[in-house]
Amino acid sequence: MQTRLKMLRKKLVKEEMDALLVNNPANRRYLSGFTGTAGSLLITQQEAILVTDFRYTEQAKVEAVDYEIIEFKDTNLEMLNQLIIEQQIEVLGFEAEYETYAQYLKYQDKFELELRATKGLVKELRKIKEQTEVTKIKEAVQITEEAFSEIQQSLQPGVIEREIAAELEFLLRKKGARGKSFDFIVASGKRSALPHGVAGEKEIEAGDLVTIDFGCLYQGYCSDMTRTVVVTDGPTEKQKEVYYTVLEAQQEALKGIQAGVKAADVDQIARDIITEAGYGDYFGHGLGHSVGLEIHEEPRLSLKDDTVLEPGMVLTVEPGIYLPDWGGVRIEDIVVVTEDGCQVLNKFSKELIVV
């Protein structure tokens, strides 16, 4: 954590702030190692303080070893104010993307200093994953793939989508995951044309395309994987055409990922292939996003994101085609950007599977 604190303190100097207040749970964990659900970090050039309540003080001492742990007796706000006075803080940064306006007004009323809104100060540090972070994401990916391998036998006509989602979550936890990283998408038949078709009450039918987008949490880090399969009957020529168009788009985009390339340019590679196949109007989302302590991080593989990729960035690559009243296909892997390419963390086959 000392390296992360050092990088953050350089940013504080550049932004001309005396301290930063951190309440975002993912940022708090990233900077301190603390996994509790209540606590505030107050970071200055000399001090790193974690303020929490009686429930978490012992846990914090074990997890946040680089921090002074202070238990508040009255309220968190009162203790923070006392520390601000003691540390002679005159300019305090706060996380504008996380704090509510109501909370900002409380700070304004309580603290006698300049409050300065910050945007992405810690998240910018989180863009480049350390090797320990990549290792945890790899473990999460492996758990996800093992669960998917087992769930295929349950993809039969008559099974309800939400039953598949429930069984998947059970398998992930059984294999060591802390929980799911987002609400699973299990979309069958015509519902597979819904990019975010969260598992519902529909029964899977013979001949259906079934898109399954799911992931788990392992030691705080997320996985995110999508595969589309055909149930029992098929595939039809149309299903094969759409599927292998998406697969080609993904494979070519993977070849285009390397340090120094713009995120938007990688998106364009996949988008051009889908457009040339006549399905450009049916790929309406970005190609991917970063993954880490949160399921959606920066940068994004999107036409709107000109971020230059750097080694250590972890990204999903997930093109799709979604045809109303017919169905859809998405294929998704997680990759780590390297100097001259990318490392694909997923090992599971991407050939069209008939279950």
DSSP secondary structure code for residue 256 in this structure:
H
Partnered with residue 116 across adjacent β-strands are 93
The span from the CA of 51 to the CA of 327, in Å, is 50
Domain-wise residue ranges, the chain: 2-126, 131-354
CATH no. of 2-126? 3.40.350.10
Is pLDDT at 38 greater than 90 in this prediction? Answer: yes
pLDDT value, residue 324:
97
pLDDT digits (tens, 9 = 90+) for 181-220: 999 999 999 999 999 999 999 999 999 999 999 999 999 9
Residue 328 is predicted with a pLDDT of 98
**pLDDT, tens digit, for every residue of 55-96?**
999 999 999 999 999 999 889 999 999 999 999 999 999 999
CATH no. of 131-354: 3.90.230.10
SS3 content of the chain, % helix, strand, coil (to 5): 40, 25, 35
Residue 204 has a pLDDT of 97
Residue 175 · residue 143 · CB < 8 Å: yes
Buried b (16+ CB within 10 A) or exposed e, 115-144: eeebeebbbebbbebeeebbebbbbbbbbb
- pLDDT reading at 1 higher than 90: no
Tell me what percent of the residues of the chain surpass a pLDDT of 90: 97
Residue pair 254/270 in contact by the 8 Å Cβ criterion: no
Kindly state the tokens that stand for 280.
């450009």
Residue 307 pLDDT greater than 90, yes or no: yes
pLDDT higher than threshold 90 for residue 291 = yes
pLDDT at 206 (0 to 100): 96
**Residue 318 banded pLDDT, cuts 50, 70, 90:** very high
Q: What is the pLDDT of residue 348?
A: 97
Tell me if residue 96 falls in helix, strand or coil.
Answer: coil
Task: Specify the pLDDT at position 120.
Answer: 92
pLDDT in tens, 19-31: 999 999 999 999 9
- Name, in order, each residue with C-beta under 8 angstroms of 323's C-beta and a sequence gap of 6 or more: 193, 242, 279, 282
Q: Do 2-126 and 131-354 share a fold?
A: no
Q: Where do we find the tokens 């001090």? A: 47
- What pLDDT band is residue 234 in, cutting at 50, 70 and 90? confident
Q: What per-residue confidence (pLDDT) applies to 233? A: 79
Q: What is the average pLDDT value for the chain, to the nearest integer?
A: 97
